[in-house]
A and B are shown apart, each in its own frame.
Chain A
Amino acid sequence: MYNFDFEKPSTIADAVSAMAAEEAQALGGGQTLIPTLKQRLASPSKLVSLSGIAEMKGVCEADGGISVGGATTHATVAAEAGAYPALAALASNIGDPAVRNRGTIGGSLANNDPAACYPSAALASGATIETNSREIAADDYFQGMFTTALEEGEIITNVRFPIPEAASYQKFEQPASRFAMVGVFVAKYVDGVRVAVTGASEDGVFRWTEAEEALSGNFSADAVEGLSVSGDGMISDLHGSGDYRAHLVKVLTKRAVAAAS
């Protein structure tokens, strides 16, 4: 691993100034970044740890939804997001206990791994990603695998989730890492149903709009029975082919609807 300087600010303002240094990079729980640094795939001059910023930690209820601090660990979301049970359940199934004790929602959303769980929750919930400088709607935020709307040095400070009437996340685990081979998050709001799929597409997390239309008219697993998902553009690797992943998208959507209704 290349060497770096280390800073641990205690306010967002101090973190923003620390991030202004050339080649500075934010450090959340390090569960993705530390392995990346070990492989010398990144060489930041400075790591700015966000774990000492109290205003970026914890879950609170805020007008019809919940607000999760960007440096909140998966374990804390699992324990404190009871107002949004499907989100708490998703967090409680990420990786393993030690990963959940360190990894954060901000790190997961900033990284936007195509097999990560949180991006599907943010997209299906129509969440708002708050940064130190602006608010970004989930629909504009995810821009392909490992790519987001974040600018250089921008920090995710909060994520706001409106709470749906019903929701469920179903993950088909890749058993060695417990990342999603495919994961589907279904959320039913008063004005319609949103379905977000992770783990499957070469473009990263996406909304399965045909299923959304079908489910908005009839919220039952039968409603998606007649739909089909193409294997084109789906990830093919040693864990499964594109066609297999496409198949899983529908299976998991049906399971999510059944679990939510």
Chain B
Amino acid sequence: MTQKNQYKLNVNGQTVEVTAEPRELLIYTLREQLNITGPHIGCETSHCGACTVTIDGKSVKSCTMFVAQAEGKEITTIEGLGGPDALHPLQEAFKEHHGLQCGYCTPGMITRASKLLEEIPNPTEEEIRFGMAGNICRCTGYQNIVKSIKAAAAEINAAKEAAQ
């Protein structure tokens, strides 16, 4: 019955074609077919958020989506936000404010936080905790994650103002 199909995705600005069974979870397509290993697999049960990516502008847990559902969609992973040569303000802030320890949750945290700051450009601590509820961290106790997101928000807002 089921065979492999061709799926066209746009990942971090590039159009790619993959061959996969429809049941393949998007996180495996990203990590194992496309070598995009920023998004992590923490629980594979849609609870931890380590696999969070942005799909057509919305945060999604890529362990709870089939590659077949991602056909034709625009996907952004942590790799698409910034890299060693040009860190995204969130990456910079997590580094500066100790927003990570082991780093396992960090790609998902930052990818989700990047959307949170578009939804609410200047969030309160409460809004950050509510908006980040789907991302779990076993190390930091969250204090420094909140601090990092606030710092990045200030940075992004200041840059926006300067540009006006």
Contact = CB atoms under 8 A, between A and B. Distances in A.
Contacts of B1: 3, 5, 45
Given A3-B21, A96-B49, A102 B131 contact: no
Given A5-B2, A75-B58, A30 B64 contact: yes
A38 interface: yes
A6 B134 contact: no
B159 to A, nearest CB: 24
A37 B21 CA distance: 15
B69 A97 contact: no
- Residue with the highest number of chain A CB atoms closer than 10 Å, among B5, B22, B44, B52: B22
Contacts of A47: 22
A34 B66 contact: yes
Given A96-B49, A98-B59, A98-B112, A4 B64 contact: no
Interface residues of B, number: 30
Interface in A2-46: 2-6, 8, 27, 30-31, 34-35, 37-38, 45
Given A30-B69, A49-B69, A99-B134, A4 B52 contact: no
Interface of B: 1-2, 5, 21-23, 25, 44-47, 49, 52, 58-61, 64-66, 68-69, 71, 112, 115-116, 131, 133-135
A177 interface: yes
A106 interface: no
Interface of A: 1-6, 8, 27, 30-31, 34-35, 37-38, 45, 47, 49, 51, 75, 95-99, 101-102, 176-178
A8 B70 CA distance: 11
B99 to A, nearest CB: 19
Contacts of B45: 35, 38
5 contacts: A5-B2, A6-B66, A35-B46, A38-B45, A97-B131
A176 B162 CA distance: 42
Contacts of B69: 27, 30, 49, 51
Contacts of B68: 6, 8, 49
A178 to B, nearest CB: 7
Contacts of B135: 96
Contacts of B2: 3-5
Contacts of A5: 1-2, 22
B61 to A, nearest CB: 5
Contacts of A27: 69
A6 B49 contact: no
Contacts of A176: 47
Given A4-B22, A47-B22, 4 more contacts: A2-B23, A37-B23, A102-B60, A178-B133
A173 to B, nearest CB: 10
Nearest to A176: B47
A216 to B, nearest CB: 35
B71 to A, nearest CB: 8
Contacts of A45: 1
A31 B134 contact: no
Given A5-B2, A31-B46, A35-B45, A97 B64 contact: no
B23 A4 contact: yes
